[in-house]
Chains A and B, each alone.
Chain A
Amino acid sequence: MSAKTWREIPIGGDVVDAGNAVEYKTGSWRTFKPVWYPERCIHCLFCWLYCPEPAILVEDGKVVGIDYDFCKGCGICVKECPDKAHALELVREK
């Protein structure tokens, strides 16, 4: 999202476009990142449920990956992934 001048934005800080969070790439916040191991995943979707961003990508009821544009590295998915599956690991961002 390119920063706009004071002449171009709505006054008063009003946010007028619905769903504009998509333009805000929270991925830039990351110091740790979750790595997903598809072979260990049981597709319980706990990670998708708990992730505070739209970062767990799901197709037809199955996890297909992580959207690193939005994953901010909070580690909640890693914490929620069942121990017996252990399909997510948190590694330091390089």
Chain B
Amino acid sequence: MGKVMALTGNEAVAEAMRQINPDVVAAYPITPQTELMHKFAEYHADGLVNTELVLVESEHSALSAVVGASAAGARAMTATSANGLALMWEIVYITASLRLPVVMAVVNRALSGPINIHCDHSDAMGCRDSGWLQLYSENSQEAYDNTIMAVRIAEHPDVLLPVMVTLDGFILSHTMERIDVLEDHEVRDFVGEYKPRRALLDVEHPFTVGPLDLTDYYFEHKRQQMEGMAHAEAVVEAVSREFGERFGRHYDTVEEYQLEDAEVAIVAMGSTAGTSKEVVDELRQAGEKVGLLKIRMFRPFPYDRIRNALRGKKAVAVLDRAVAFGSYGGPVYTDVRATFYGVSDAPVLVNYIYGLGGRDITPAHIRTAFDQLKSIARTGRVETLVGFLGLRD
């Protein structure tokens, strides 16, 4: 079943896209996403996909082309990073509002300025409230698998919302990993044939897309979007379960790593979850009761899962690779805190902002975070509620 390939994160997602063989892909280059579409364009030029590849003049146009294609009844995909995602902004909301099951890879990169091409999550965090689902990838294998699962999740009739699959820029996008690649027919079988709920090209059933929606119905349409989001968690669970049963790689909305008997824990997303696992293993070998909660699905935020996984712990540090300026802490932190409002056995929750603009996050940083957690667990005293890892202070 399948084969082992040496692929970068970008190549892994492009490979998944080749196997999905979408009807329409719109491409516009931006570092560090560029090679992803470069690779896909190569597959297109070599005749390995039947995709209509639309080369556009901006990211605003890229997502607009995808929206048009999706409304016409096509399975449509694109990819971007940082400022490109920011330029898509208007259409990001429109994709979700029109309930178009688009899948987009976001190769995480810091938003300007000052200009920076390296990884942080400020780009994707900017659209956390836009109505897209967000799946974060710990490694390129997961980015590959997430891309395939995302198609099924987005198109599920209970959801019908677009999905962002994120992977950390450079850290994953440009790093070669060993990837287990499925057989083409396995992927095609898994994603299945796309049956749009409505298609503009279906002339037997004409309809209007994106009409003016004023005080009379806009509110109701937003409520419907909330309903799609509310159903998404169960669908992500079910699709991930099916993927695991068929292909042996098991995913969930969150991953509990050495968490059950842990007294202190870290919450992380993206590649830092992988780094954290190394540190957890190391500390566990030294007999320390530490654990990790990896959040794979950030939107919708799996409140219940997170509460149940962390309640009763003594102290928990949430790692945020983005700032929410003017907010209580980082975006993941504020959501985790909200999860514990009014909960009696809530852990002490602290926050670390780290890795902005691609600043390295090393095992030593994560050990520092665990040291603070252990000290809180011992003394009950919190020195810093919102701190930093890797900042020159």
Instruction: List residues of chain A with CB under 8 Å of any chain B CB.
Output: 3-6, 9, 11-16, 18
Bits for B99-118, please: 1 = Cβ < 8 Å to A, else 0.
11000000000000000000
Q: Which residues of B contact A16 (CB under 8 A)?
A: 198, 205, 207-208
The answer to whether A3 and B216 have CB atoms under 8 Å apart is yes
Q: Which residues of B contact A18 (CB under 8 A)?
A: 206
A12 CA to B298 CA, complexed, in Å: 23
Q: Which residues of B contact A15 (CB under 8 A)?
A: 207-208, 211
A11 CA to B198 CA, complexed, in Å: 11
The answer to whether A6 and B211 have CB atoms under 8 Å apart is no
A5 CA to B224 CA, complexed, in Å: 10
Bits for B218-229, please: 1 = Cβ < 8 Å to A, else 0.
011101100110
Question: On chain B, which size bracket covers the interface?
Answer: 20 to 34
The answer to whether B220 and A12 have CB atoms under 8 Å apart is no
Q: Which residues of A contact B208 (CB under 8 A)?
A: 14-16
**B205: nearest residue on chain A (CB-CB)?**
A16
Beyond known contacts A6-B220, A6-B221, A13-B210: 8 more, CB 8 A cutoff: A3-B216, A5-B220, A9-B220, A12-B224, A13-B211, A13-B213, A14-B207, A16-B208
Q: Does B48 contact A (CB under 8 A)?
A: no
Q: Does B150 contact A (CB under 8 A)?
A: no
Q: Which residues of A contact B205 (CB under 8 A)?
A: 16
Q: Does B97 contact A (CB under 8 A)?
A: yes
25 contacts between A and B (CB under 8 A): A3-B216, A3-B217, A4-B220, A5-B220, A6-B219, A6-B220, A6-B223, A9-B220, A9-B224, A11-B99, A11-B224, A11-B228, A12-B97, A12-B160, A12-B224, A13-B97, A13-B210, A13-B217, A13-B221, A14-B208, A15-B207, A15-B211, A16-B205, A16-B207, A16-B208
Q: Which residues of A contact B127 (CB under 8 A)?
A: none
Main secondary structure on chain B at its contact with chain A? Answer: loop
Main secondary structure on chain A at its contact with chain B? Answer: loop
Q: Does B201 contact A (CB under 8 A)?
A: no
Q: Does B209 contact A (CB under 8 A)?
A: yes
**B98: nearest residue on chain A (CB-CB)?**
A12
**B220: nearest residue on chain A (CB-CB)?**
A6
The answer to whether B221 and A11 have CB atoms under 8 Å apart is yes
Question: A4 → chain B, closest Cβ, in Å?
Answer: 8
Question: B202 → chain A, closest Cβ, in Å?
Answer: 12
Q: Which residues of B contact A14 (CB under 8 A)?
A: 198, 207-209
Question: B217 → chain A, closest Cβ, in Å?
Answer: 7
**A8: nearest residue on chain B (CB-CB)?**
B220
Q: Which residues of A contact B210 (CB under 8 A)?
A: 13
A8 CA to B274 CA, complexed, in Å: 45
Question: B205 → chain A, closest Cβ, in Å?
Answer: 8
Which positions 131-183 of chain B face chain A at CB distance < 8 Å? 160
A14 CA to B209 CA, complexed, in Å: 5
The answer to whether B216 and A13 have CB atoms under 8 Å apart is no
Q: Which residues of A contact B206 (CB under 8 A)?
A: 18
Interface centre among B100, B208, B210, B219 (most CB of A within 10 A): B208
Question: A25 → chain B, closest Cβ, in Å?
Answer: 13
Bits for B321-337, please: 1 = Cβ < 8 Å to A, else 0.
00000000000000000
A26 CA to B374 CA, complexed, in Å: 68
Q: Which residues of A contact B209 (CB under 8 A)?
A: 12-14
- The 10 A-B residue pairs with the shortest CB-CB distance, nearest first, are A12-B99, A6-B220, A15-B208, A6-B223, A12-B98, A16-B207, A11-B99, A13-B213, A11-B224, A14-B207
**A3: nearest residue on chain B (CB-CB)?**
B216
Q: Given A12-B97, A12-B99, A13-B98, are A6 and B224 also a contact pair (CB < 8 Å)? A: yes
Bits for B187-209, please: 1 = Cβ < 8 Å to A, else 0.
00000000000100000011111
Which positions 259-317 of chain B face chain A at CB distance < 8 Å? none
